[in-house]
Amino acid sequence: MPDIRKLGEQGIIDLFKVSRAQPPITKSIGDDCAAIRLPGGKLLLWTTDMLIEGIHFERRFGTPKQLGAKSLAVNLSDIAAMGGRPIACLLALSLPHDLEQNWISEFRDGFTSLAERHGCPLIGGDTCGGREEIAISVTVLGEVPEDQVLWRSGAHDGDDIWVSGIPGTSALGLRILADGGDIISDEARIAVNKHLDPEPRLEPAEDLAESGQVTACIDTSDGIAVDLGHLCGESHLGALLEESLLPLPAIPPGREDDPLELALQGGEDYELLFTAAPAARVIFEKVRDLHRIGKMDESSNGVFMQRSDGGRERITPRGFSHF
């Protein structure tokens, strides 16, 4: 009897695609959030993400406060990817019995400060105890004017591809933590902070949505190769990245990580990856921290990269897979 590794994450998701989206459900499985039409021209956005100790995080790598904030941040990032604004959140926790009270208070502080900062009050949840590993499940509701929503599916042939931040930085940080490497250099500190304290790009995403220039958007949770692949799939187009344009994470002195590999395959940046017509360059080139990295291309079947040496290479997702 085959086990679920044969299916992989996408295979499992496909198994559950049985309900057709009917009004008021506007978007079902297949985007950063589900979307439900509200009276008055708005869409209700809805997302959930689960963080399991030993899979998504190690307690020893960061503080409880960082983990609390990150467990909300990864969900807020899905709201950002739709151009939305959060409304409220719920938190479900499974905690080991011997967890210190301080741990949970600090986790709460991290969670609720980020929630407050983004106007996303914690209004309910569920809690249980007994297993050794912590399990955290968060769900967030948000909203966006229907005429501003950023789907994964709207990119056009020839659109520029943009990314915020430096892709691969979080994955570098995770490697440094996992290796027990020094966190003395600026490069190491930046990478580790990015991994432990991702900042959901809600305000920039709202600006993007309001600009009316963005044709498709996704957040970079699994790495550019995977996430751009999703955007391509939903937009029925290929993509051609340009190596010369791709910003690369700065590797701390003494380490030998491959910055290009990290930038293409590293997950958990929780930045914005989006597309826009070339006419919008004049706007986005002025925005701090936005990088144009390639273009959508209907003649490519998947994600490719134009190498600086002239060759063209297919980018196969090797991003983090749980299965």
Q: Point out which span in 89-97, 223-231, 234-242, 293-301 binds a second copy (CB under 8 A).
A: 89-97
Verify binding: residue 139, a second copy, rule CB under 8 A.
yes
Distance CA 167, CA 260 (A): 9
Verify binding: residue 97, a second copy, rule CB under 8 A.
yes
Q: Point out which span in 137-145, 167-175, 191-199, 259-267 binds a second copy (CB under 8 A).
A: 137-145
Verify binding: residue 100, a second copy, rule CB under 8 A.
yes
Verify binding: residue 145, a second copy, rule CB under 8 A.
no
Q: How far is the CB of 233 from a second copy (least distance, A)?
A: 16
Verify binding: residue 1, a second copy, rule CB under 8 A.
yes
Verify binding: residue 212, a second copy, rule CB under 8 A.
no
The 10 Å Cβ neighbour count of residue 309 is: 6
Crossing angle of the two packed helices 64-81 and 202-211, in degrees rounded to 10:
10
Judged by CB under 8 A, the residue of 59, 63, 92, 181 near a second copy is: 92
Verify binding: residue 63, a second copy, rule CB under 8 A.
no
Verify binding: residue 178, a second copy, rule CB under 8 A.
no
Total chain residues near a second copy (CB under 8 A) = 78
Binding to a second copy in span 106-135, by CB under 8 A: 108, 111-112, 115-116, 121-131, 133, 135
For 281, residues 6+ apart whose C-beta sits below 8 A from its C-beta are 160, 292
Q: What secondary structure letter does DSSP report for 214?
A: E
The tokens for 135 are 């399990």
φ/ψ of 29, rounded to 5, equals -50, 135
**E strand or H helix at 116:** helix 101-117
* Residue 132 CA to its chain's centroid (Å): 27
Verify binding: residue 46, a second copy, rule CB under 8 A.
yes
Helix (H, G, I), strand (E, B) or coil at 8: helix
Q: Point out which span in 53-61, 224-232, 233-241, 248-256 binds a second copy (CB under 8 A).
A: 53-61
b (16+ CB within 10 A) / e for 253-289 = eebebebbebbbbbbbbbbbbbbbeeebeeebeeeee
Q: How far is the CB of 228 from a second copy (least distance, A)?
A: 20
Distance CA 200, CA 76 (A): 6
Q: Which is nearer to a second copy, 6 or 288 (CB)?
A: 6
Judged by CB under 8 A, the residue of 23, 37, 43, 47 near a second copy is: 47
Q: Point out which span in 52-60, 169-177, 199-207, 231-239 binds a second copy (CB under 8 A).
A: 52-60
